[in-house]
Structure 1
Amino acid sequence: MVYSLHPLFQAIASAPTQQALRFRFMDSISGYFGVQRWGIYLLDTENSLASVDVKGVSEAFVEQYQQIGKSVDPVLRYVVQYHAPAHEELVLPKGAWKQSELYKRCCATYDHEHIMTGPIVGQGQLIGTVNFARIGNAPAFSQLDLASFGAVCMHLSARLAQLRHPSVVPNPLFKRLSAREVQIANLVAKGLTNAEIGAELWITQNSVKQALKRMFRKLEVSARTEMVAKLRDML
């Protein structure tokens, strides 16, 4: 039976915090991909592991993977290189999975018969991964699984980016100013005098003075410092 991913997409998109985003993802993802073990691994600015959320696996596995398995993981290597999801049958020759160093060093011990990893990206960088494992006699991941997983990782990355770097709400006061007046306001915020602003914009000092008078009226202020304070979020 094929399940629609749209409820999951909506749950991801409406998560109000990073913690809520992780909880929603971790609590609901297994029903969509038939996995028994899964996790989110997030990196810090130094590309080191910052946080881990896992289900179905122990801390011992996480530690063993970080110490031994990560360096020989061909699926992770693909994800890092291409910022695209992959499973073991995509990156290894047929029948080579159980001969791989990753399987022998980590996955065999924990009965990980099939694995799939997807990227979490932000500002052009890999900032984490989502990791799936099927155990026992479960079937290998399919191309449909891979495509669906890619969509989930895209939504997860987008929402995480929004929560980490919220968009600045435009200051409605800017709508009252012309493009030239916005330029002047920015130069005032930098501490330039009327003469310096005039030289910067190739207009006379008196033109700057008159423009500031108009701007004060529009913004309902009486001084340069008051104007800058009102517009501080956008200057």
Structure 2
Amino acid sequence: MTDVSEIPGWLATLTELLSTADGVADLDARFLQFGRDVVGAPSVALYSLKPHSLSVQGVATYGVSDFFLSRYEELGRDLDPVLARVLETKLAADNHELMNDEQWRASPLYRQVLHLHSFDYILQIPVLCAGDIAGIAIFAGTARWQGRAQLRSAASAIGRIVGAALTTQRRIDSAERHRDQVVRALDLVDEAVVVTDARTGQRHHNRQATTLLETLGVTHFDDLLAERPRQDGVTTVDLPVSESDRGQLRLSVHSVLADDDPTTTITMLRLHTHGRCDIPEVYSHLLSRRELDVATLVVDGLHDIDIAQRLSISQHTAKQYLKSVYRKLGVGSRVDLVRLVFLRALEDSGE
């Protein structure tokens, strides 16, 4: 009769180990630690499988040589009757359920691969995420390994615990990857954008916003957001930053509450001129007529879509002209262009 007294402790330890994993790679390492130090298995592996195709996405192992692993992937996987049973039924299985010891040692899998480590016993457990197989947990050892029966009794629970932990980690990894992609995209945006999360107290400035606020010396950004949003969730503030007889340099602060999360505010900052501040001759002669038109409208604070409508061109064409302006004047954003033009205007006016 199988002694199952240790199983609750095993499962509690596994849950504790995996619940504090920091990413999928750390989860793999913690599972191997469980198999080695808690269960005492001679060999442990955790395979990650791609959805639908079930091809191998990654593998973490303990207790096998690289040569063994390579040979299993090259020859053994297609010969493995235990794996075939697991993939077919989505249930844990071991070789004792499929054949006796003599048949096992005579099987192609054992003769070509498993004999390298004398694996007389192998248990494979499906790792399920939302009902689909996302991985395979494997424990293997020789005939002398004493913990086989207990492990087999705990197999289904182990699979569920690993599956729940893996599902959580994949969701976290996906969310973090999406966040990083959004952050990179924001840094490529031509506009200065600030995202404020009132629930967590976190705020993200894209590269353009960071440069703009540092240049203007704005240290208390919340002062710009002090005005309460209108009923439609939109706030617009326009304030002077610098002034000369040629006009004003102004900062427009346009904030919008996110539709699906009123605790998140998206703020767009834009420098623009008010009054007469033409593109100085030192820059205008470098530009074509149409590029000069686009640059002038940008300095006036117009969006790409507004520029396109004003000049009767497509928005894509307006963007291309603006990129050409940036390249010729050696600037990287609207903020840089407006500052360049206004500061030159101050110099020309003798201020």
The structure carrying a bigger strand percent of its residues is: 2
Write the mapping of 1:193-208 to structure 2, written as runs, cut at 5 A.
Answer: none
How far 1:8 sits from its partner (Å)?
A: 1.9
Moved more, 8-17 or 61-70: 8-17
- Aligned: 1:110 with 2:117: yes
Q: State the partner residue of 2:34.
A: 28
- Tell me the TM-score normalised to structure 2 length: 0.47
Give the CA deviation at 1:111. 1.1
Which residue of structure 1 aligns with residue 15 of structure 2? Answer: 9
2:70 to 59, 63, 66: 63
Root-mean-square deviation (CA, aligned residues, Å) is 3.2
SS in 2 for 1:89: helix
Give the conservation status (yes or no) of the 8 Å contact 2:43–2:139: yes
Q: For residues 105 and 16 of structure 1, what CA distance do their matches in structure 2 show? A: 37
Alignment check: 8 A CA contact 1:34 1:134 kept: no
Deviations 1:40-73 (A, max 9, x none): 1112344321211111111111111111111111
Residue from 130, 150, 153 that aligns with 2:156? 150
The alpha carbon displacement at 1:228 in A equals 4.1
Once residues 140 and 231 of structure 1 are traced to their aligned partners in structure 2, the CA distance between those partners, rounded to angstroms, is: 52
Please list the CA deviations of residues 73-126 of structure 1 after superposition, one character each: whole Å capped at 9, or x if unmatched. 111111101112111111225642222221112111221121111111223321
CA spacing shift, 1:90–1:232, aligned 2, 3 Å: farther
Structure 2 residue 95 is the aligned partner of structure 1 residue 88: yes
Q: Would the alpha carbon gap of residues 228 and 131 (structure 1) be closer, same or farther in structure 2, given more than 3 Å must change?
A: same
Q: TM-score under structure 1 normalisation?
A: 0.68
Deviates more, 1:158-167 or 1:52-61: 158-167
Look up the match of 2:133: 126
Distance 1:42 1:226, change over 3 A: same
Distance 1:28 1:141, change over 3 A: closer
Q: Deviations over 1:112-153 (max 9, x none)?
A: 1211111112233212111111125334832x4223122112
Look up the match of 1:231.
261
SS in 1 for 2:140: strand
Please tell me whether the aligned partners of residues 75 and 86 of structure 1 are also in contact (alpha carbons under 8 angstroms): yes
CA distance in 1, matches of 2:27, 2:92: 20
Q: 3-state SS of the aligned residue for 1:77?
A: helix
Kindly tell me: are residues 11 and 100 of structure 1, through their superposed partners in 2, closer, same or farther at Cα, counting changes over 3 Å?
same
Deviations, residues 174-224 of structure 1 (Å, cap 9, x unaligned): xxxxxxxxxxxxxxxxxxxxxxxxxxxxxxxxxxxxxxxxxx63x75469x
With CA pairs under 8 Å and 6+ residues apart, which has the higher RCO, 1 or 2? 1
- Alignment partners' CA distance in 1, 2:263 and 2:74: 45
Distance in 2, matches of 1:80 and 1:88, equals 14
Pair 1:37-2:39 in alignment = no
SS at match of 1:29: helix
Q: Does the residue aligned with 2:122 lie in a helix, a strand or coil?
A: strand
1:226 alignment partner AA: V
Report if aligned partners of 2:257, 2:263 keep a CA contact under 8 Å in 1.
no
Residues of 2 paired with 1:59 and 1:87: CA distance?
23
Number of residue pairs matched by the alignment: 189
